[in-house]
Chain A
Amino acid sequence: MKLTLKIWRQQNNQAKGHFETFEVSDVSKDMSFLEMFDVLNERLINEGKEPIAFDHDCREGICGACSMYINGRAHGPWHETTTCQLHMRAYNDGDTIVVEPWRASAFPVIKDLTVDRSAFDRIIQAGGYISVNTGNAVDANAIPIDKTDADHAFAAAACIGCGACVAACKNSSAMLFTSAKVSQLALLPQGDPERKQRAMDMVAQMDKEGFGSCTNTGACEAECPKGISLANIARLNREFIAAGFSSEA
């Protein structure tokens, strides 16, 4: 296949970015999207040019590093698929593909398609955990958990923190990410003691990072590579309301 790629280039956070066009040929349908980038980068290096910087690591769709906004879609056109698992079978000879970084003020560009997502870490630091020191645990089977709750908790915990929800949302809202963690821990009895403080602190941090608010368009759910459900956002809202109305401080 022959393809035209229009790729966002930006030297660093301060620099102004622009699109650069590349023609690539001999693209095999069996390649992954990132392997096509590998081949292009190899060519650029051989031509004495700078390769395109992009985040990627496991290439199995689980680490959450890869993050490309492809033809208007976070992680490209395939449903519940990360960029690294997108394969060139999705495209036809002669296609033009526009690749942009995640765009959000809370995700500043580091270089080209690489962005800084440390805001997500700080949201987790605000309360995305259960405060249990090592060695403090009771026997694992001492707390039976309703299977439906456990399954919902797992589904929420499947979040890979890639940021596609933010990228896809017209408001750059991080509600799906935040709600996935709040939901996971709210659904489990272990998370109960801290649930109010957690909901309030994580929402406060999310706001502080400069993410937009949720207008319930559902784009995040549609683009989430792990299929995290909007029901989690509703749960976060419930948790937050309950916490806000009952907190004493």
Chain B
Amino acid sequence: MLNAKIPAGPLETKWSKYKSTVKLVNPANKRKLEVIVIGTGLAGASAAASLAELGYKVKAFCFQDSARRAHSIAAQGGINAAKNYQNDGDSVFRLFYDTVKGGDYRAREGNVYRLAEVSAAIIDQCVAQGVPFAREYGGLLSNRSFGGTQVQRTFYAAGQTGQQLLLGAYSALQRQVALGNVKMYSRHEMLDVVKVDGKARGIIARDLVTGKLERHFGHSVLICSGGYGNVFFLSTNAMGSNVTAAWKAHKAGAFFGNPCFTQIHPTCIPVSGDHQSKLTLMSESLRNDGRIWVPKKQNDNRKPTDIPEEERDYYLERRYPAFGNLVPRDVASRAAKERCDAGYGVGASRMAVYLDYADAIVRYGTIEASKRGEDNAPKEEIIAMGKGVVAEKYGNLFDMYAKITGENPYETPMRIYPAVHYTMGGLWVDYELMTTVPGLYALGEANFSDHGANRLGASALMQGLADGYFVIPYTIGNYLADEIHTKPIPLDHPAFVESEKKVQGQLDTLMNIRGKHSVDHFHKALGKIMWDKCGMARNEQGLKEAINEIRALKEEFWKDVRIPGGQHEFNPELEKAGRVADFLELGELMCMDALMRRESCGGHFREESQTEEGEAKRNDENFSFVAAWEYKGPGNFDLHKEELNFEIVHPTQRSYK
């Protein structure tokens, strides 16, 4: 049984007690301690900057051409914080409670409470950095509501909240680069964790421009490399998002937690053809005002605007009257799939539902008209005013939809369908964010910790920044305090040599296959298996088939992949090949995890385990644990369990009705 090292004592005092008793490193010693940070998204950039501010020597790595391009940049909707600026009853406890419930009782209470506790400080920190959050006319911060909650606790910057938060963290990081406290390595990819005497002591990285392998020492290594949604090929992740750093850490001994917990986001633009390279998210904030519906008739070919009100099925409002269109993501996604599978889908592929702004446009138009004292304005004018208000709130999203689909969402309802968006699973970490390898940490989406089986909207940004700004600066000291006598390990140490040889071996093998099919060919094949059999709904037979199919695909990959170009040059195909090789191994583990977890919870829906109404049915008696998998060799993983103890929140059947 795994020990998460959650501090004893009442929930509300765990973190403050931890902070006041944890070991410290004095400033003179911090200068001698080196920390490697992999990834420069919200978690990585905030951690690298904060640790450098404390005085540690930091090396930060990212595969993108600049730290500013990490995929946190694409987060649209917002960031939660228990500020209660709206006076609507929010509190640290409520945020904690909503998150545990939203995660379908598969998250650790201690971690989630800490997350809720530090959430308010994140907003303060970001505002101090100059993050331009949306404001009201009085000059104070504005909030909106998000799925799965009944309070307005989400801070936002139009539909570009992730961008603004990341640029805040990026600028803090660049400041430390300028001060010489951080050495930045962009266009570098981590390809192995180097361990000495069981502890993480460095990495092997490939300079993606020259193709050269490099050895880097660190007293500890932080994996902040994001999620692995791209295992599905089509997802809302960036093209480059990958599991490689996390997977190499896993193979170096870090357990992988709840790999099958994947979030399928309900509001994405549907697939348009075989050429599709990625899926585009339409912010969940659209569900605040938009109404989701399908025709009441199957295979209805009429234009949406021609379908009269009484022939529309607003299925979320019908099934979940209390939360309506604002149910959590997993619930909304499954409901859309259910309607489409039953033959009520819309669009050419019939795999889409409508997200309709017509009502919101009239509603906002009426309010606007009344504000201007034109209560009796003709309908067209009210609609025009309403469109103006909607454009102000969601303009950038509507424009994006129009560019991608060629349709005007102000005139006709948008077509949406769920798509892979976020992975709650990740490297298993304890309360201090340390993996099972001493000195090796995982932060942000790369770890599994705070979201249980389903993440609430606007919580990913909160967690990434909480880990980086406010958790790791305290917890890493507890480890590094004992490392002050460890001198930097020379780079010709056998562990580095051995590790580099292994990495070089894999690169040579890949280059020498000279097969017939491109990397994307295999990636797409893997994605299809994963989406069909380990996607929104999973069952025993499908998962077993998937495992066999992935194994066969993996074998074929290593025999038949074709990588053009050379190894010692800029070669994006070679980069992709390494990442897909890791996705193939991860995909298999995800299916094994999903097969093992014979219950439905959050984003993990096992068809064998549902209520009569088709809702997810948990099995707390047997599955109230975190599954942490240990790598034992190719296709061979051992399951370890971390029992989940709920002292405060009592798991019940989640209800949003």
Contact = CB atoms under 8 A, between A and B. Distances in A.
Q: Do chains A and B touch in the complex (CB under 8 A)?
A: yes
Interface stretch (B2-10, B156-164, B414-422): B156-164
A144 B239 contact: no
Interface stretch (B25-33, B100-108, B166-174, B432-440): B166-174
Contacts of B131: 157
B433 to A, nearest CB: 16
Contact of B276 (A11, A35, A62, A191): A35
A42 interface: yes
B200 to A, nearest CB: 24
Given A35-B275, A42-B520, A110-B570, A87 B403 contact: yes
Interface residues of B, number: 83
B618 interface: no
B288 interface: no
Interface residues of A, number: 81
A146 interface: yes
Interface string A177-207: 0000000110010110000000000000000
A118 B572 CA distance: 19
B564 A45 contact: yes
Chain A contact surface mostly: loop
A137 B125 contact: yes
Interface in B45-79: 46, 49-50, 53, 64-69, 71, 73-74
Interface in A127-143: 128-141, 143
B570 A114 contact: yes
Nearest to B521: A42
Interface in B539-573: 562, 564-565, 569-570, 572-573
Interface stretch (B138-146, B303-311, B374-382, B483-491): B138-146
B84 to A, nearest CB: 11
A114 B157 CA distance: 30
Given A117-B66, A125-B177, A150-B132, A58 B73 contact: yes
B512 to A, nearest CB: 15
A63 B167 CA distance: 11
B238 A63 contact: yes
A65 B85 CA distance: 36
B473 interface: yes
Given A46-B518, A140-B124, A158-B160, A129 B174 contact: yes
Contacts of A116: 65, 209
Contact of A141 (B141, B406, B518): B141
A63 B69 contact: yes
A157 B132 contact: yes
Contacts of B85: 141
Interface in B386-432: 399-400, 403-404, 406
Interface string B274-291: 011110110000000000
B178 A50 contact: no
Given A124-B174, A154-B157, A60 B130 contact: no
A11 B138 CA distance: 56
B171 A63 contact: no
Contact of B570 (A12, A120, A124, A191): A12
Interface in B94-138: 121, 123-138
A222 to B, nearest CB: 17
A185 B138 CA distance: 20
A49 interface: yes
A117 B65 contact: yes
Contact of B569 (A12, A34, A160): A12
Contact of A85 (B124, B126, B277, B404): B404
Contacts of B276: 35
B400 A60 contact: yes
Interface in B352-389: none
Given A35-B277, A49-B564, A147-B137, A157 B69 contact: no
Contacts of B132: 150, 153-154, 157, 184, 188
Contact of B171 (A11, A129, A153): A129
Contacts of B636: none
B18 interface: no
Contacts of A56: 239
A81 B164 CA distance: 19
A51 interface: yes
Interface string A24-59: 000011111011101100101110111101011111
A185 B53 contact: no
A137 B140 CA distance: 16
A143 B186 contact: no
A243 interface: no
B219 interface: no
B175 interface: yes
A128 B141 contact: no
Contacts of A158: 160, 163
Contacts of B139: 144-147, 150
7 contacts: A28-B275, A30-B406, A35-B275, A63-B73, A121-B186, A125-B175, A136-B128
Given A60-B74, A145-B135, 20 more contacts: A38-B275, A46-B516, A49-B564, A51-B564, A57-B71, A57-B238, A80-B399, A85-B404, A87-B406, A120-B66, A124-B170, A125-B175, A129-B129, A133-B50, A136-B128, A150-B135, A154-B132, A154-B157, A161-B66, A188-B130
Per CB-CB distance, the 5 closest pairs between chain A and chain B, nearest first, are A144-B139, A129-B171, A137-B128, A137-B124, A154-B132
